[in-house]
């Protein structure tokens, strides 16, 4: 089955479907959703079949294809997977149909956006709702009372058509194709093309399909996301070009082939420069502290499905890039900068958790939890042990499941109540017990409770880091306490206690569609918490091979084990 072009199929099917769905008129919104769901489910089935065809213990990339693209510059269409990229493609194939189904009714009957850029105006002609200004105070009172502001705002209010469901579905399909390309590319230039291409659908998902009443905020978040990402992409482009020049000096011809680039003996000084270009781009995409400031805005203003893909998949491109490109291509520089990366990772664990604790907006809270989780992932990657590295890659998958489910639950609450403010909730476990149970499972997974999927990956990261640097591991472990605080804070304020608002008394519990959305994610959270071996068997050989290729091996035990008479040791 290795002769089957699995990766090209997984890439081409959603890309072609996106073209078809985008051509659907708005009145065929239901048909567009049905086709999108069918295509994404087909991709999921094919990804599972490809996983069964994959041989974990076989060295090198599998399902490889290589075709010349721009031969003059050594650019090829080259794809292949190892265990690291395969599990992330599986995660992509799982989350996209989940998002399609969870967003099924999100834009049905979507109110028309009004205003010069689609921003809605309240009926009283005042400032747009959610404009970020307090309800009372001298500054706000003056603005609202000033006639020129009100007249100008009303004069510029121009109705625009409602948002297109077929376009939303097409953007999801384009994003899925781009993510498969990112994780499968074995040509550095091809990787860069997909790396930049996935920005476009996410930009439009945030800017055009976020909260209908917050046009100014979602436009700001979308532009901020795009500028940060493009800045990182430009730095990486400079490093990619530098890598090509270096390869031409060593091989007498330039190449972007990943396998050939891994064999280059690049001087440490040049490695540091090239590493910096790649690392900053990946740190922004992940994001890692202090490159994270775009994340809470983008997470809060994206539609719920877009937020799931943003923190569940798009952010993994950054951490994937660290272990796929930074460490293997620049081993000396990785070793040189490791203390800095580890320090930033530990700071991110605490900083993200503390900011999450102080949030009142549920979507921003969940976004900040991701900053803490990515700190653990970076910690595992740059501890340079097989345990920590395996745990970090597994953490990428588990974070996509746990935080993705947490975002879905938050989306269900917002859809029912119309606000992301934690203070608007309380006592919902009495009214929506199934929804409360799902939130509890998602929260416990996020704080890495034993028996859930995240515990296994977090435990491996900390154990592997302990063998590399005991102090860092001990400090990072204390971050788990902060995770418990922000998760329990969110759950307590929304689900327990008395019902503090009359509007909460008649909220509906999960529908059959919503139960179908969360069921597979809950099953995986519990299943991988109890039996993570299938994923570990896929991930571990590739992580071990990556570290071995750059001269890294696990530290020897301080006290060798010796055999004793009687079979004891």
Encode pLDDT of 455-510 as tens digits.
999 999 999 888 888 888 888 888 888 888 888 888 988 888 888 788 888 889 89
State the total domains in the chain. Answer: 1
Cβ atoms of 203 and 194 closer than 8 Å? no
Q: What is the C-alpha to C-alpha distance for residues 316 and 398, in angstroms, rounded to an integer?
A: 11
Biggest alpha carbon distance in the chain?
A: 94
Cβ atoms of 499 and 505 closer than 8 Å? yes
Instruction: Tell me if 371 is assigned to some domain.
Output: yes
Quick one: CA dihedral 218, 130, 306, 448, positive or negative? positive
Q: What is the C-alpha to C-alpha distance for residues 36 and 102, in angstroms, rounded to an integer?
A: 13
Q: What is the C-alpha to C-alpha distance for residues 216 and 207, in angstroms, rounded to an integer?
A: 9
**Residue 273 pLDDT:** 93
Task: Record the tokens describing residue 156, joined without a space.
Answer: 């510029």
Which H or E element spans position 148? helix 147-155
Instruction: Tell me if 508 is assigned to some domain.
Output: yes
- Residue with tokens 């919503």, as numbered in its chain: 514
Return the percentage of the chain with pLDDT > 90, whole number.
47
Q: Which domain holds residue 420?
A: 340-555
Quick one: CA dihedral 346, 347, 352, 358, positive or negative? positive
**Residue 557 pLDDT:** 60
- Residue with tokens 């994001």, as numbered in its chain: 287
| End-to-end CA separation in angstroms for the chain | 45
Q: Which range has highest mean pLDDT (14-18, 259-263, 363-367, 368-372)?
A: 14-18
Instruction: Tell me if 539 is assigned to some domain.
Output: yes
User: What residues contact residue 356 under an 8 Å CB cut-off, 6+ apart?
Assistant: 365, 366, 368, 369, 372, 486
Q: What is the pLDDT of residues 261-312, one digit of tens each?
A: 988 888 989 999 999 999 999 999 888 888 888 888 888 888 888 889 988 8
Q: What is the pLDDT of residues 409-456, one digit of tens each?
A: 998 998 888 888 888 888 888 899 999 999 999 999 988 889 999 999
Q: What is the C-alpha to C-alpha distance for residues 387 and 554, in angstroms, rounded to an integer?
A: 8
The whole-angstrom distance between residue 427's C-alpha and the CA centroid of its chain comes to: 31
Task: Record the tokens describing residue 269, joined without a space.
Answer: 């000084």
Exposed (0-12), middle (13-18) or buried (19+): which is 60, by Cβ within 10 Å? exposed
pLDDT over threshold 80, residue 127: no
Q: What is the pLDDT of residues 310-345, one digit of tens each?
A: 888 888 999 999 999 999 999 999 999 999 999 999
Q: What is the C-alpha to C-alpha distance for residues 506 and 491, in angstroms, rounded to an integer?
A: 19
Mean pLDDT in the chain? Answer: 84
The total of other beta-carbon atoms located within 10 Å of residue 493's CB is: 17
Instruction: Tell me if 28 is assigned to some domain.
Output: no
Instruction: Tell me if 370 is assigned to some domain.
Output: yes
Q: What is the C-alpha to C-alpha distance for residues 343 and 340, in angstroms, rounded to an integer?
A: 5
One DSSP character per residue, 47-101 reads HHHHHHH--TTS-S-EEEEEEEEEGGGTEEEEEEE-HHHHHHHHHHHHHHHHHHH
Task: Record the tokens describing residue 89, joined without a space.
Answer: 């493609």
Instruction: Tell me if 439 is assigned to some domain.
Output: yes
Instruction: Tell me if 93 is assigned to some domain.
Output: no
Task: Record the tokens describing residue 19, joined without a space.
Answer: 């073209």
Q: What is the pLDDT of residues 504-547, one digit of tens each?
A: 888 898 989 999 999 999 999 999 999 999 999 999 999 998 88
pLDDT over threshold 60, residue 154: no
**Residue 250 pLDDT:** 86
Q: Which residues of 189-200 are buried (b: 16+ CB within 10 A; e: fewer)?
A: bbbbebbbbbbe
Cβ atoms of 446 and 369 closer than 8 Å? yes
Instruction: Tell me if 106 is assigned to some domain.
Output: no
pLDDT over threshold 90, residue 80: yes
**Residue 137 pLDDT:** 38
pLDDT over threshold 60, residue 124: no
User: What residues contact residue 326 under an 8 Å CB cut-off, 6+ apart?
Assistant: 275, 278, 279, 282, 333, 334
Exposed (0-12), middle (13-18) or buried (19+): which is 367, by Cβ within 10 Å? buried
The total of other beta-carbon atoms located within 10 Å of residue 150's CB is: 17
């Amino acid at each position: 089955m290795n002769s089957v072009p699995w990766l090209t199929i997984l890439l081409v099917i959603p890309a072609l479907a996106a073209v078809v769905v985008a051509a659907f008129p708005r009145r065929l919104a239901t048909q567009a959703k049905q086709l999108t769901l069918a295509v994404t489910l087909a991709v999921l089935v094919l990804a599972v079949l490809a996983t069964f065809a994959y041989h974990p213990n076989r060295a090198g990339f599998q399902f490889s294809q290589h075709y010349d693209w721009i031969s003059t510059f050594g650019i090829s269409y080259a794809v292949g997977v190892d265990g690291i990229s395969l599990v992330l493609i599986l995660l992509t194939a799982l989350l996209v149909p989940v998002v399609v189904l969870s967003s099924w009714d999100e834009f049905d009957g979507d109110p028309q956006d009004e205003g010069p850029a689609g921003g809605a105006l309240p009926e009283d002609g005042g400032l747009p709702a959610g404009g970020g200004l307090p309800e009372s105070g001298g500054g706000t009172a003056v603005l609202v009372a000033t006639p020129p502001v009100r007249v100008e705002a009303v004069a510029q209010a121009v109705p625009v058509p409602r948002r297109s469901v077929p376009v939303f579905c097409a953007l999801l399909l384009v994003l899925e194709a781009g993510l498969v390309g990112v994780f499968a590319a074995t040509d550095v230039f091809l990787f860069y093309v997909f790396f930049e291409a996935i920005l476009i659908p996410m930009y439009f998902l945030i800017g055009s399909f976020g909260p209908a009443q917050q046009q100014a905020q979602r436009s700001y978040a979308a532009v901020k996301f795009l500028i940060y990402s493009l800045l990182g992409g430009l730095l990486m482009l400079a490093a990619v070009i530098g890598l090509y020049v270096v390869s031409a000096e060593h091989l007498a011809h330039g190449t972007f082939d990943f396998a050939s680039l891994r064999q280059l003996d690049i001087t440490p000084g040049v490695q540091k420069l090239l590493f910096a270009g790649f690392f900053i781009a990946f740190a922004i995409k992940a994001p890692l502290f202090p490159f994270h400031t775009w994340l809470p805005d983008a997470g809060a203003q994206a539609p719920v499905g877009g937020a799931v893909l943003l923190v569940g998949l798009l952010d993994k491109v950054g951490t994937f890039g660290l272990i796929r490109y930074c460490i293997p291509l620049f081993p000396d520089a990785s070793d040189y900068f490791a203390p800095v990366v580890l320090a930033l990772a530990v700071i991110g664990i605490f900083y993200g958790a503390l900011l999450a604790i102080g949030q009142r907006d549920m979507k921003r809270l969940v976004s900040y939890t991701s900053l803490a989780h990515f700190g653990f992932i970076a910690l595992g990657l740059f501890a340079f042990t097989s345990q920590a590295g395996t745990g970090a890659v597994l953490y990428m998958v588990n974070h996509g499941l746990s935080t993705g489910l947490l975002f879905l639950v938050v989306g269900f609450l917002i859809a029912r109540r119309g606000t992301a403010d934690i203070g608007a909730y309380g006592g919902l476990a009495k009214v929506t017990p199934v929804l409360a149970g799902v939130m509890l499972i998602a929260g416990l997974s996020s704080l890495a409770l034993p028996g859930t999927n995240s515990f296994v990956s977090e435990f491996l990261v900390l154990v592997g880091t302990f063998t590399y640097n005991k102090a860092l591991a001990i400090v990072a472990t204390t971050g788990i306490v902060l995770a418990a605080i922000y998760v329990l804070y969110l759950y307590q304020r929304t689900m327990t206690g008395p019902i503090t608002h009359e509007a909460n008394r008649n909220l509906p519990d999960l529908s059959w569609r919503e139960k179908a959305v969360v069921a597979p994610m809950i099953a995986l959270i519990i299943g991988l918490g109890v039996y993570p071996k299938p994923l570990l068997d896929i991930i571990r050989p590739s992580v071990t091979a990556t570290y071995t290729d750059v001269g890294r091996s696990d530290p020897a035990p301080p006290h060798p084990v010796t055999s004793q008479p009687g079979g004891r040791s």
